[in-house]
Amino acid sequence: MHARVGRFDYKWVALAVVLCGTIMTILDSTIVNIAIPTLQHDLHAGSYTDIAWVVTGYLLAQGAVIPLTGWATDRWGTKKLYLITIVMFTVASMLCGVSQNLGELIFFRVIQGVGGGMLMPIGMTIILQAVGPQNMGKVMGIFGVPMLIAPAVGPVLGGYFVQDFSWRLIFYVNVPIGIVGFIAATRFLRETHRTAKLRLDVVGLLTGVPAVIALMYAVDRSTQLGWSSLLVVTLLAASVLLMGVFIVRQLRFRAPLLQLSLFRDRTFSWAMVLSFVVVTAMFGTMLLLPLYLQEVHGYDAIETGLLLLPQAAVAAISMPLGGYLTDRIGPKWVVATGMILLTIGSVVLAQIHYNSSNWLVISALLLRGFAMGFAMMPTMSAAMARVPRQYTSRASSITNTLQRLSSSVGIAVLVTVLAGQFAGAAAQTTCAPSATVVAAAAASLHQPQLTADEYCGHLRQTIAASSAQESSGSTQPSTGNAVLDAFNHQYAGGVFSDAFDRTFVLVAILSALGIIPALFLKRPDRNASGSGAVEMAA
């Protein structure tokens, strides 16, 4: 195995170094979202669509380079490429902070996304090549902790920077972390085997990368334009066509960008299916919950982040435990237990209403946090433990690409489902305004003869037209009449809660279905050497 670095095993040193870059990139993907309104004002963006490219450009750049990372890692080595990408990300972060207009910020965010997109799969490859299959669960359990903590810490830290200092700090914060990460990587990481004359699959590059970008942009636009819009349909069709050509090419080319032969192993295939379920159920909900807490309960970004911290804290404890148990008893029952807990936690979330106690929310989040530790990284370690050592970089590209696509598609689907529930929830929520409320509404709408039924119809129509981005609840405009505003908020909160409840029921059903693939996960052969138990043809 690997030599030690001082008193420590190399795999733990490599893990510590890689975590530095991982935390930086994941934190950056969540910390920026909270500053979008401020960025739109300070940079004089014409519309939300324009400023949204600060986020969209970063995500598309990440998705574009991940499929290429496996080939680049094999061509130039993990250490060299890791150092290049961490410098790229750090310098781009500094340039984002000094940007003077929207065009500059978007350009530097794209460069930042290229660096950030490659850091995660390269880091995973470094860890996979340093760890044997029997320790995969424990190490991957620790590696996954930042993936759950960063989404909770990001809004809190971002809100603090924006409210008390400057939005530029959300980019500058990456600079010292990047410098430390670069020095540590230079000092402690070891270079891996390089294939100097490895051919680049140009056809695969020209079909796979556009396919990923088209799919991610299509699902991003679907949340505003709808799935039936011409742009979304065209992008989805182009993605399917390009992906078909890409898959055929990968199966025939001797040195493909993505080693699709890995899917011949059933555990790897089932783990990828389960990864889609877990990412959708977890990260989709992590997007919707802050929206619910801010729109209905009126919390600001910092308060919302603090309310979500217990989930991240429990996940940080349960994830290493889940990894340890995976190494001891295998992934099947560990992941199945996680999916059962995730199902129960989603059912509890479906019971939350606009006037529910925060303790009910926290209880559901604690349960989900524990489930995350047992479901997420044990699934990934089950897949990676089956991968032969020579394919670790390609397997890392596959898993990171699928996770990125799963996150985009899953979130877009849940947002679409939530938006579609408003009309039904508005029609079924009881609307019984008092005479005082009707009189206030008549004055507000300048309709002296307004009846209770007519006003309820007006409310239902207004809320039914809401979307997940422009929802009801606390966003109902103030009329200046306290009685009318209180009734509007109560009714809209009830509608919004019912729409959320139905969406969380879907998440619960999806989580329950995830128990099935979990039962097909197998542990690696204890007698296998290298990083995997399955040998595959090149």
Q: Which one, of 236, 257, 233, lies nearest residue 247 by Cα?
A: 257
What distance in Å separates the CA atoms of residue 54 and residue 421, rounded to the nearest whole number? Answer: 29
- Assess whether 406 and 519 both reside in one domain: yes
Q: Which one, of 16, 267, 28, lies nearest residue 143 by Cα?
A: 16
> What torsion do the CA atoms of 511, 403, 86, 138 make, to the nearest 10 degrees?
50
Q: Final residue of a domain: which of 227, 253, 279? A: 253
Alpha helices in 385-481 (DSSP H): 392-428, 435-445, 452-464
Backbone phi, psi, residue 258, to 5°: -115, 125
- Assess whether 348 and 414 both reside in one domain: yes
Query: Is there a contact between 27 and 154 (Cβ–Cβ < 8 Å)?
Result: yes
Mean pLDDT of the chain: 82
The number of angstroms, rounded, from the C-alpha of 479 to the middle of its chain's C-alpha atoms is 38
Output the CA–CA distances (angstroms, integers) from residue 456 to 464, 476, 481, in the order listed. 12, 14, 17
- Assess whether 269 and 395 both reside in one domain: yes
- Dump pLDDT digits (tens) for 301-327: 677 777 878 888 888 888 888 888 888
Output the CA–CA distances (angstroms, integers) from residue 126 to 15, 80, 199, 532, in the order listed. 8, 11, 22, 15
Residue 378's identity, in one-letter code, is: P
CB atoms within 10 A of CB 430: 7
Quick check: 472 pLDDT over 60? no
Question: CATH number of the domain that 164 lies in?
Answer: 1.20.1250.20
Query: Is there a contact between 329 and 138 (Cβ–Cβ < 8 Å)?
Result: no
Number of structural domains in the chain: 4
Residue 232's domain comprises: 200-253
- Assess whether 229 and 358 both reside in one domain: no
Query: What average pLDDT does this structure show over 173-189?
Result: 92
- Dump pLDDT digits (tens) for 80-139: 999 999 999 999 999 999 998 888 999 999 999 999 889 988 988 888 888 766 677 777
- Dump pLDDT digits (tens) for 504-535: 899 999 999 999 999 999 877 655 444 444 44
pLDDT score for 337: 94
Q: Final residue of a domain: which of 177, 198, 219? A: 198
Q: Final residue of a domain: which of 158, 177, 198? A: 198
Q: Against a cut of 0.85, is the pTM above it?
A: no
Q: Which residue has the higher pLDDT, 385 or 474?
A: 385
- Assess whether 346 and 494 both reside in one domain: no
Highest-scoring range by mean pLDDT, 30-39, 168-177, 378-387, 435-444? 168-177
- Assess whether 60 and 171 both reside in one domain: yes
What distance in Å separates the CA atoms of residue 538 and residue 518, rounded to the nearest whole number? Answer: 28
Query: Is there a contact between 284 and 417 (Cβ–Cβ < 8 Å)?
Result: no
- Assess whether 96 and 8 both reside in one domain: yes
Q: Which one, of 303, 294, 369, 311, lies nearest residue 156 by Cα?
A: 303
- Assess whether 79 and 184 both reside in one domain: yes
The number of angstroms, rounded, from the C-alpha of 82 to the middle of its chain's C-alpha atoms is 22
- Assess whether 190 and 302 both reside in one domain: no
Query: Is there a contact between 125 and 78 (Cβ–Cβ < 8 Å)?
Result: yes
Quick check: 537 pLDDT over 80? no
- Assess whether 286 and 333 both reside in one domain: yes
What distance in Å separates the CA atoms of residue 319 and residue 328, rounded to the nearest whole number? Answer: 14
- Assess whether 15 and 145 both reside in one domain: yes
- Assess whether 294 and 329 both reside in one domain: yes
Query: What average pLDDT does this structure show over 240-249?
Result: 93
